[in-house]
Structure 1
């Protein structure tokens, strides 16, 4: 009984609170129709939001996007709409509150589901929290998008990358999400490779320190120069060329990188691990001078 009285006191106190035009208040949706949304404000009267004042998003549908029980924040436009209700606008509240929400989305790197509402020059438009957001063409996909029209009406998972309330600027990116997903898929595939497995691949590039081999399925690995041939070579191009089909043995999979050996795959013997050679930082665009002395020193071979 005591809890009931306390609840009643809170409701009574709320009903006498002062509400002014321009205030941003919240209420619970108790009715939705095509023309308006009715809110319980825990006040002596209800709040009304006209459908046109709900969102700037042209794809917004009040009957589909608003449900009874939803809590909505809106700005008080007029204390009496002519029928004794408080007239509210969610669009006006969005202009103030949504930017803080968007900033938090950006900080949290939150994935958001949006629908492209229109195609514009150099990109697409989608709405988040009722705010118009721009997705540059370069951020729609992992690859270059020449024809933007197929994206109209398409649903995308995006992240907020730029929030500027003063300039009313909201930039979104689908590419950032896709890149992370691709990286996770790649790392999973790499983790599934079992050291010692013999695979077939194609030499895709030659570097001074070794050869990169395409293993298909989006994977490639490095064959260090010391693991290319049984004989001593000064550079990979002495025995390999781009496009060569080779058999390789998986030595290890560390940090999403694949270390391979042609030498071990050829003679069936376990290749020597390169414990002191850090190949994780190598890329196809780097160069590294490697002498025979350096190779044997790194392999820790005693002759």
Structure 2
């Protein structure tokens, strides 16, 4: 059985060795040699194939010594079936331009995350390479907020996913923001999971609305204290009791998803009232201090003639 299989394999190799190669053919080839200027590949053909360094990749960060590994099977397009030296000249980047777009569509559908090195800044964004294809990342998709200084990203490596693949016009658009947004949401969910109703929190007032105030309680979380939960007194606006940036303490009343409801007045209710109540008596109703022995205040006059039994 093994002899039959070996003979079959030999027949297939012999048949491939007599195949006729044509310009534009895309072949699976094995890397058998790497120099500073070219890659030598096995074609299962009567002669070897050569991929010049300029035909290896469009990616400026490509390194022939690091990225081309002996034994790797790659795809390459025939540029010249037989040059003056009798070798087949091939192009890896041309084959990639034809075949990679179907892979990129699959990558987009799968949500594949790529490490993308930013090679240049262009109007309204930056450029990097994915699978040897030039890709654009809009400034609005570089970070959670719009990036004005795109030049500062040149040389950096960001993680991104594909959001647009258009083979006909060779358009590839990426987003780093989507990755960062998903991670921020996961971290936020994790932080919220550590909170429980009744916990005490503290932080500055970051936003004021007619219906209440938003308080930064740390770890990227913000809670809402409704106007009815600011004080026991009736107020028409939170500004009557609080101001922007003021650090306040509050109790968590409710957690619903990523919404955290807070109460400032709940802590005031919990604190015992240790102050003594005192009322100032208007001067008109005070006794005349000049005559300490006789009370001539209006209250005393009202009581004159009334006998207490």
TM-score by length of 1: 0.76
Cα separation, 1, equivalents of 2:148 and 2:223: 31
Runs of 4+ in 1 over 6 A off after TM superposition: 232-235
Among 165, 168, 171, the residue aligned to 1:166: 168
Work out the CA distance in 1 between the residues paired with 2:257 and 2:41. Answer: 53
Q: Is the 8 A contact 1:213 1:220 kept in 2?
A: yes
When the two chains are superposed, the root-mean-square deviation of aligned CA atoms in Å is: 2.8
CA contact 1:191–1:256 (8 Å) conserved in 2: no
**Alignment correspondent of 1:149:** 151
- Does the 8 Å CA contact 1:199/1:215 hold for their aligned counterparts? yes
Instruction: Write the mapping of 1:1-303 to structure 2, written as runs, cut at 5 A.
Output: 1=2, 4=6, 7-8=9-10, 11-12=13-14, 14-15=16-17, 19-207=21-209, 209-225=211-227, 227-230=229-232, 236=238, 239-268=241-270
CA displacement, residues 83-123 of structure 1 (integer Å, 9 cap, x when unaligned): 44332111211221121122222222221111112222332
Deviation at 1:223, TM superposition (A): 2.6
Residue of structure 1 in register with 2:294 after alignment: none
Unaligned runs of at least 5 residues, structure 1: 270-303
Evaluate the alpha carbon distance shift between residue 224 and residue 40 of structure 1 in structure 2; reply closer, same or farther with a 3 A threshold: farther
The answer to whether the Cα contact below 8 Å between 1:247 and 1:266 also exists between their aligned partners in 2 is no
Displacement, 1:5?
A: 5.2
Q: Residues 259, 3 of structure 1: CA spacing in aligned structure 2 closer, same or farther, 3 A cutoff?
A: farther
How far apart are residue 11 of structure 1 and its match?
4.4
Secondary structure at the aligned position of 1:94 is classed as helix
Which sections of structure 2, spanning at least 5 residues, go unmatched? 272-309
Is the Cα–Cα contact under 8 Å of residues 49 and 89 in structure 1 kept in the other structure?
A: yes
Measure how far apart 1:23 and its partner are. Answer: 1.6
Could you tell which deviates more after superposition, 31-40 or 49-58? Answer: 31-40
Deviation at 1:170, TM superposition (A): 1.6
Aligned length: 269
- Which structure: larger Rg? 2
**Per the alignment, do residues 259 and 80 of structure 1 end up closer, same or farther by CA in structure 2, a change over 3 Å counting?**
same
